[in-house]
Structures are given as structure tokens and as C-alpha cells.
Structure 1
Amino acid sequence: MNNKIWIFGALLLSSFHLLAQDETELVKNTIKKSTIKGHIYFLASDELAGRETGTPGIDVAARYISTTFQRYGVSPVEGASEGYFQEVPLVQNIAPDAYALQIDGESVASENLIRVEGSDVNSEPEYIFLNYGTEEDFEFDGVEGKVAVVLAGQEGNQDYRFVYQASGKKSRLAKEAGAAGIVELHTENPDSWKTFQSFMGRGSSLGFESNDKSDSFFKLWVNDADKKWLEKLEKRKKSELNVTIGKEMQLPVPSKNVVGMVEGTDPDLKDEFIIYSAHYDHLGIGKANAEGDSIYNGARDNAVGVVTVMSAAESIAKNPTKRSALFILFTAEEKGLLGSKYYVENPLIPLNQMVYCFNSDNGGYNDTSLTTIIGLERTTAGKHIKSASEAFGLKAIDDPAGEQGLFDRSDNVNFARKGIPAPTFSLGFTAFDAEIGKYYHQQSDNPESIDYDYMEQFFRAFVLSARLIANDEETPFWTEGDKYYDAGKALYNK
């Protein structure tokens, strides 16, 4: 009997390897460098002017993706408009002309104050100092109705990108705790303040229209390099605040996610969906660099990500997998993950049918022997990503730059919060170093600067990973102990 079990297991393992080999050949025959290059050159061309949300360039990109879906044989999703579009009702928030913060009757200088959020506020609120505003800090019972005063970033990490990302989380925690507002003190790295002034002081931002006219939550950033205000607010704990913010205007900004699907072949597994996602927006046009280039073309970030999803769509439409596939390209990721935030609150197919979100987002690469997966070991599907990368001469590694908080800086996190396993597949990097910074959110991120031999390996690894996950009889899930493990159990009634 034991021999029979051993023989059965050996046959099963052998058949799995044969299947994986067949899938590898299928991917090789479908995913070609010339196609990848053509897509990236178009999406990151000057004619699309950096694909900023709310501009004609991003609309052209959306139409290009949707017509490519149609050509590949990807089906529209019920509830989408014009076949492949989910309308995302964004608004342009025109910042108030006037806002001010006084502490103990002394005004914070205007050059040291940035209004991030808030409209029509005139109050003298109580406050509570909450250190760096972590989840543990916000567990304090006395937050409701008060202003949370927090330090920017976290101890030991004042990288401006992390500070910006962490700030959004602090706002969310403050709102969930019932705070009246949040004041964030920037006490470190004064050079970052100049950066924030340049891209946050434009007088407007994108967001969602607030239907709650009583919502007066506000957010102010204070440059406090000499720790003057920290001294008052942290140590005295009896200072008086006076907050004044004028009225904000809102203008509608048409925007859309691009969505398509391919039904699975297995009569049981086809009710489970794998999401393949990426954001297709970028930064648009800004100040010219030394070379006179003012267009942020976003080849790596995130034309590469878009084309990984398009490549998966091409492969799966031609040769469907056991599980169904849902392809989503998000708008307004660069404006605060807005497209994915809208989708998870307004899904076109129930979220509990989405068993995995395979996101693709990129800052750049500094090692062409790797694929870097943000959250590789956080789900049970990591084994498939590793073997798929190996099949094309690459090694899959987990996030090497944990200090950057990358898992929480891309669209995958909105799905993870709902309980859906959601790693991000990225170009190979070993650190967020100067080589990454050379292209990340720079005008130099152009299609001609990319190694397309590496792209072919990378894209094939993504598509093979997708196929192996979608064909596995075992449904992927979070690794036990992950911070989203319980959310997943609740979503899927496990």
C-alpha cells in the first residue's frame, strides 16, 4: 500500500513538472520582446505627456489598453462603461487661499506651514501628542474629538518618500480614531521640506467628493527644524491651538480604471478570480531638467507594470487558465492610490471571489538577474513566483528595502486591507539606491533607457507565475501570522 502511495505521489509530481514545462513553452511562444517594446514605447511616449490623471494623455493610454484587450479577446465586465471602463468620480480640490495655525497665540510662519487637507475650519481644538502616530499610538482612548499632533516619518527613517507615504497612513488612523484633525511636525531633514513645498504647494489636489458637509477634518504640516513647536506641544501639553482654513472648491475630473476578464476553464475553480493589476497614470509635465526635458514619461513607473498585465491578458486570453482572470489598470495611483481605493469600495465582481491580486509596480532596477517581489513570502503562492523566475534565468527575492514601506505604497495594499493576498511584482533591485533614484519619478525615465533583453525575461517570469498560480488546485492565501491573515479569514469565511 505504501508503495502504491509513493508511486501515485511520484506520478503526480512528474505530471506537475510536465505541466510546468508545457506552461513555460507556452509563455516563450507568446511573450515576445518586440511586442513588449512596442507597448512601452507607446505608453511612455512624449505624445502621452506623462499620463497625468485628468489630462488627455491618460485618456489616450486608457483607450490604447482597452482596444488591446479587445484585440486579444479579453471580455468586458458587466457594469463597466464602453465595455472596459469603470468611471472613477474624482474631483480637483482647489486649495483655500488662506490658512493659518497659531500655537499659544504665536503664528507659524507661512513658509513653514502646508495645508494638506481641510476646508472651512475655524476652531480652537484640544490636542493630544502621539509621538510618530503609529497604530499603537492611536490605540489611546483620548483621541476622539481632539487634534492628533505627531512627528513626521518614523524614528530612523526620514526619507521623503517614506515620510509622504507614512503621512497618509497617519491620517487614516486619525480619522478612524475620531480625531478632529492632525498636525504633523517635520523636525528632521529640512531639505525634504523644500521638496514637499514644490509638489504639495501647487494649490490643488485630486480626491473624492465629500458628501458629508459636516466633515471638518483637517491636516497641517509644520516645518519645525529647530523643534520650537515640538518643545511647546510635547513637553508643555497645555498649549493652545487656533486653526483657520478657508473654503475649498471642488471641480469634477473625469477618470477611469480599465477592466477586463477571461473566464476560467475549470467548472469549480472558475468562480475564483486572480486579479492582475497595475497603475497606468504617472506625473505628467513639470519643470524642465538640465537637458530641457519636462515630461515625466514613466517608462519604468509604470508603463512596465501596465505591459506585464497586458502580457498576462494576451497569454490567458489565448490559453485560458483554470481560474478566471480579472485585469485592472488603475488611475490616480500617483495621487494617493485613488483608482484602486475606489475599486475595492465599488467592485464589479464580489471581492470574496478575488482569491489573489498579482500587482505590478516599479521604481526601477539595479540587478538584471532578479525579480523583486514586495511580499514574496507573505502568501502561499511565493513558490510559484520563485519557480517561474528560475525558469527564465532569474532569481525571485523579497523586499530588500523594508525601510521604504513599499508594500503600503502601491495599489496592492487596498486589496490587502480587504483580506485579498496581494504582493507586488517588481523589477530586480537590491536597494533603493542612486541607480533607482536616477530614474524614479525623474524626466529620465524614458523607454530608450530600458534593457529589453531583461524585460523579456522579466515579463515571461510574471506571466508564468500568473499561470502557475491560476492553475494550482490549492487556492493561494496569506502566510499564517501575516497582519492581513485575519482579514482574509473574514473575507473568505475561513
Structure 2
Amino acid sequence: MLKWLAACFFIGSSIFSTAQIQLEADPFAAAFFSQNITQEELKEHLTKIASPEFEGRETGSEGQEKAGRYIIKSLRQAGIEKAPQLRDYHQTLAFTILDWQHLGLRVDSSSFKHMRDFLALKEQNQNLPELQASEVIFMGYGIDDANYSDYLKADVVGKVIMIYLGEPLNEDSISYVTGTQKLSRWSSSLDLKLEAAKRHKARAVLIVDPQIKKRFSANRSRELGPSMFLKAVPAPTTPNHVFISTKVAKQIIGDQEVAFMNNLTEIREKGQGRPLPIQSQVIINQHLTRSLLYSKNIIGYLPGMDSTLQDEVIILSAHYDHLGKRGNSIFHGADDNGSGTTAVLEIMATLAEAKKEGLGPKRSVACIFFTGEEKGLLGSKYYAEHPVIPLSQTVADVNVDMIGRTDEAHQQNPNYIYVIGSNRLSTELHQINEAVNASFTHLDLDYTYNAKDDPNKFYYRSDHYNFAKHGIPSIFYFSGVHKDYHRPSDIPEKILYNKYETVAKLIFHTVWELANRSRRIIVDVKDDTNYNR
């Protein structure tokens, strides 16, 4: 305590500034304890978190399990408790993993590539190691409706069929299904077409998509590797299906192009579909595995010191998973998100030290190290749906994801941090962050990615999102994407430790102020964000 009192004489004069909001937390205590956050300790933790020992921390891997044990050990050593509602420092999640072991499409002598010529979605298909067919039946639009049917006089039992998306229209854009210019559900629901194929016992469906590149873009991140889901994903009962490009369709049609075009013309002019058998050697390989995987959200808890405020909780979050290994290459994930993980450990240790001195936060602070962020924010999604601390008691989420580098736009000025989401729900949260920065850390706060029309959609891409969608004020600290992002070269040696320390201190000051204000921050912004993306 004497050390802290003495230090107050040396740090008081430079920490006051004019801001839109009055800071309430003891500025001398804040400035003193923030000195515990040092480059040296950040580097020590980060070097361990991003070490080869943890093998890139892939969700559910042994390397991630080791990283989790290291985080828990560090929390214990710092005096951070487990959450009262838990038996240990973790919340266990079960994932369903879907992965293509072999995925291929061959037409006659031509082989085609997934995500270049065709697309098959894992959760929408069954395991089909190999299907060979010497005939493909073109079935128009694959519609089987009382007003229009492509299945009249069709025998497709056990067959591979090929269909178009949408529905047939006459020259006046009148639908043959609805009899008006209004399209039917057959245009918007692929499930209807797959159910029709199932009723007629087709074995597989090839769907011609003239705009398949858009479909590639929309599904690229989840289809280039194993897909992970928080729930059981039963095998579908409808036939396997593959979206194919017009290039693949032309290869299937081959020298029957005239008959094919005549068939399409008859459908569009007369509203009469009829099956067209096409002789073509097609081999479809869809060897799909389904497995169960377990992983953990790591949760620590520091009870507040004010008996009237300690039931209100600040969440300090970072994801600790990364991309694991690809062959012999380890994706170390030093910045993504070893930097956030380590910063949270240091901030929690600093808060615990303040509490030991009798000056700890009034409100409780929980730290959560999320799993499955790289798989689609799955750890935070699960937590928000199964909260350890009731969401009604959660004041705010302060989320840390990649804070140790600079991006191309700031090569000449690393003294910055992107701030995302701070004003989406609470004016006070935004003003507090601005005020503590003006008083203590003096970083350039860049709000570029906070714009609602940000094409990168970073607001939707880290774990704070799953708190914000439940109406909890959230702030996301981020230093931007760099050339080592999602590469094995994202290593501790490339972290800018001067900048890293300053950003970690800014986050500490924001948490400190949130935890010590006399009144909980309020939600006072009408949020028009689309959370059903």
C-alpha cells in the first residue's frame, strides 16, 4: 500500500483531460496499477501461447487443450477464481464435425474441381463414396406442382437428374406455376425440389447455377476445410445434390445440345416439361465423415468488492483458438489471437493485484477465452445461448482480437487501434473509451471499421457480436489485417510490443472504469443492425 501511495505523487498531473463524460474511477489507482502491464510480461505469455508446443491451437485439438491448461494455470497463479456457477474453469462444448474425405466430379474424360466448377455443401448431403451413372436425365426445373410438373411420365428411380434453379416463365414473364408475374416458392426453396426428387426416388441431383461464382464466394470459408456445428447434424433424407457450373452442364450435354435447347424452348413456350435422357458417363464422389468433437470456453472470475454492485459483471473476452496445423506447417496465431489472449491474462492479473491492495474493482469482472471463433464464432455463440453469468447481469463485453501489429494503412503510425461497436448500443461506452484514452494512453482511435457500410463486416466477425445481438453493449479492439494474417508467419517476433503494451493498457482502463462507475452504463441507442445474417 505504501508503494501505491508514494507512486501517486509521480503520476497525478498528466492523467486528467477534458472529455464528454466524467470519469469516476480513481485515476491515481488506475494509472498506478496499469504499470503492471509490461512488454516483458506480455511477451513471456505470448511466446508460450504461440509456441510450437500448442500446435496452432486448432479447436478441439490436443494443442488447444494444452493452451487451455496453460491459461487456467495462469489464472490460478494470478488469484483469479472460477465462476461460482462452474465446477472448474471451463464450459465444455460439443461440436459436430463434417469433413469431405474425398469429393470429386468426373464427366466422361473430364475431371472437375470443387469450388471452381461445382459446389457440394457438407450438411446438405449424405455420405456417398462413389456413384457411377451412364445416363443423366434433364428434368427442366425439377418442379412437381399441380399447375406445372417436370415429372409427368418420368421414371427417375435411382437416376442422376439435372435441373435448373428458378421456375419457367412465358414471354410475358408469367409463371407457369402461379399464373401471374409473382414467383412461386419453387423459385425460393430448393428444399421443395429436393423433396420432389425424393418422392420420385432420384439418386442424385445436379443443379445448374449460372451464377455459381457468387455461391462459391458465399460458402468459401466453410467449405474449404472441415465444417463445425454446435448441434447435431443428421444426415439429410433427400437425395445428394451438387451445384454445377454451366461448363459442367455443357460437358454433360455434349453432342445433344440441339435436343436440350429444344426441350428448354418447349418448356418456356408451352409450359410443358418432359424428361430428356442424356447419355453421359458421370462419376460423383462424396465421401463425407461425421464426428463429434469437444472443446472448452475457459472462464475466470474476479468478484467485485462492492456488495451492492458485485452481481453486475464486466466480460473481458478473447478467443484462444487458431488454425492449427496444415501438414508440417504450424499456424502460430501470435497476433490472431495470442495477442488478445495474453492481454486478457495480464489485465486480469492486474485487476487481481489491485484487489489484493484493497482497491479492486467494485463490479465483478469475468474473463472468457472463447473456443471456435475461427469456426464461426461458435464458442461465444454457445456461451450467449448458455450463459454462465446471466445476460441480465452482464454490463458490457470488452472484446480483444488482434492488437499487436499494424495494417497497411498505418505503417507510418503504429500508435493507433481500431475501435468497433462502442457506440452501437451505448453512448456511455463509447465516451468512456474516448475519455480513458485521452487521459491515459493517447492512441489514435480509428473508427473506420465501425461504419455500418464497412465492406469487411468486421463488426460481425469477432466474439463481441454474440453479446451485442442480445442487447449487451460491446466494444471490440482490433489493429487490422496484415500480411501474416492466417499464415504460419504470424509469430511472436513480429509483434510490436511497445504498441501492444499501450493498447493493453487502454483496454485495462476501459474495464477499470466500467467496473468502478457508480451506475451501470445504459443502453440508449436504437440498434438497427441486422443480426440475422
User: What TM-score do you get using the length of structure 1 for normalisation?
Assistant: 0.70
SS in 1 for 2:310: helix
Q: 2:342 aligns with which of 290, 298, 307?
A: 307
The corresponding residue for 1:337 is 377
SS in 1 for 2:484: coil
Q: 1:387 aligns with which of 435, 448, 469?
A: 435
The corresponding residue for 2:475 is 423
Letter of the structure 2 residue corresponding to residue 459 of structure 1: A
The answer to whether 1:452 aligns with 2:487 is no
Map 1:87-166; keep pairs closer than 5 Å.
Answer: 87-95=92-100, 111=114, 112-116=117-121, 117-120=123-126, 142=185, 146-147=189-190
Letter of the structure 2 residue corresponding to residue 90 of structure 1: F
**Equivalent residues of 2:422, 2:474 under 8 A apart:** no
**Equivalent residues of 2:124, 2:236 under 8 A apart:** no
Letter of the structure 2 residue corresponding to residue 365 of structure 1: T
Residue range with higher mean Cα deviation, 470-479 or 245-254: 245-254
Query: In structure 2, what is the Cα distance between the partners aligned to 1:218 and 1:411?
Result: 34
Deviations 1:312-360 (A, max 9, x none): 2112222331221111101111111111111112111211111211111
Indicate how the Cα distance of structure 1 residues 144 and 382 shifts in structure 2: closer, same or farther if over 3 A, else same: farther
Indicate how the Cα distance of structure 1 residues 210 and 91 shifts in structure 2: closer, same or farther if over 3 A, else same: closer
Q: Please report the RMSD computed on the Cα atoms of aligned residues, expressed in angstroms.
A: 4.5
The corresponding residue for 1:397 is 446
The corresponding residue for 1:35 is 41
Query: In structure 2, what is the Cα distance between the partners aligned to 1:485 and 1:22?
Result: 41
SS in 2 for 1:418: coil
SS in 2 for 1:42: helix
Structure 2, unaligned runs of 5 or more? 1-18, 129-138, 144-164, 168-182, 193-206, 251-263, 276-283, 355-359
Query: In structure 1, what is the Cα distance between the partners aligned to 2:497 and 2:274?
Result: 59
Letter of the structure 2 residue corresponding to residue 357 of structure 1: D
Query: In structure 2, what is the Cα distance between the partners aligned to 1:389 and 1:351?
Result: 27
Matched pairs, number: 409
The structural deviation recorded for 1:92 is 2.3
**Equivalent residues of 2:23, 2:432 under 8 A apart:** no
Which of structures 1 and 2 has the bigger CA Rg? 2
The answer to whether 1:462 aligns with 2:468 is no
The corresponding residue for 2:230 is 208
Q: 1:187 aligns with which of 213, 216, 222?
A: 213
Query: In structure 2, what is the Cα distance between the partners aligned to 1:256 and 1:84?
Result: 9
Query: In structure 2, what is the Cα distance between the partners aligned to 1:399 and 1:227?
Result: 44
The corresponding residue for 1:371 is 417
SS in 1 for 2:455: helix
Residue range with higher mean Cα deviation, 461-470 or 392-401: 392-401
**Equivalent residues of 1:375, 1:399 under 8 A apart:** no
Map 1:177-326; keep pairs closer than 5 Å.
Answer: 185-187=211-213, 196=220, 200-202=223-225, 204-210=226-232, 248-286=288-326, 294-319=329-354, 320-326=360-366
Structure showing the higher helix proportion among its residues = 1
Indicate how the Cα distance of structure 1 residues 481 and 18 shifts in structure 2: closer, same or farther if over 3 A, else same: closer
Query: In structure 1, what is the Cα distance between the partners aligned to 2:72 and 2:274?
Result: 55
**Equivalent residues of 1:92, 1:253 under 8 A apart:** yes
The structural deviation recorded for 1:36 is 0.6
Query: In structure 1, what is the Cα distance between the partners aligned to 2:344 and 2:285?
Result: 43
Query: In structure 1, what is the Cα distance between the partners aligned to 2:437 and 2:518?
Result: 21
Indicate how the Cα distance of structure 1 residues 388 and 32 shifts in structure 2: closer, same or farther if over 3 A, else same: same
Residue range with higher mean Cα deviation, 22-31 or 310-319: 22-31
Letter of the structure 2 residue corresponding to residue 316 of structure 1: L
Q: How many percent of aligned residue pairs carry the same amino acid? A: 27
Indicate how the Cα distance of structure 1 residues 189 and 29 shifts in structure 2: closer, same or farther if over 3 A, else same: same
Query: In structure 1, what is the Cα distance between the partners aligned to 2:230 and 2:285?
Result: 19
The structural deviation recorded for 1:247 is 8.1
**Equivalent residues of 1:377, 1:479 under 8 A apart:** no
The corresponding residue for 1:67 is 73
The corresponding residue for 2:397 is 357
**Equivalent residues of 2:297, 2:369 under 8 A apart:** yes
The corresponding residue for 2:62 is 56
Deviations 1:176-219 (A, max 9, x none): xxxxx9x89443699x79x949x8344x3322342767787999
The answer to whether 1:413 aligns with 2:458 is no
SS in 2 for 1:414: helix
SS in 1 for 2:305: coil
SS in 2 for 1:274: strand
Query: In structure 1, what is the Cα distance between the partners aligned to 2:522 and 2:486?
Result: 33
User: What TM-score do you get using the length of structure 2 for normalisation?
Assistant: 0.65
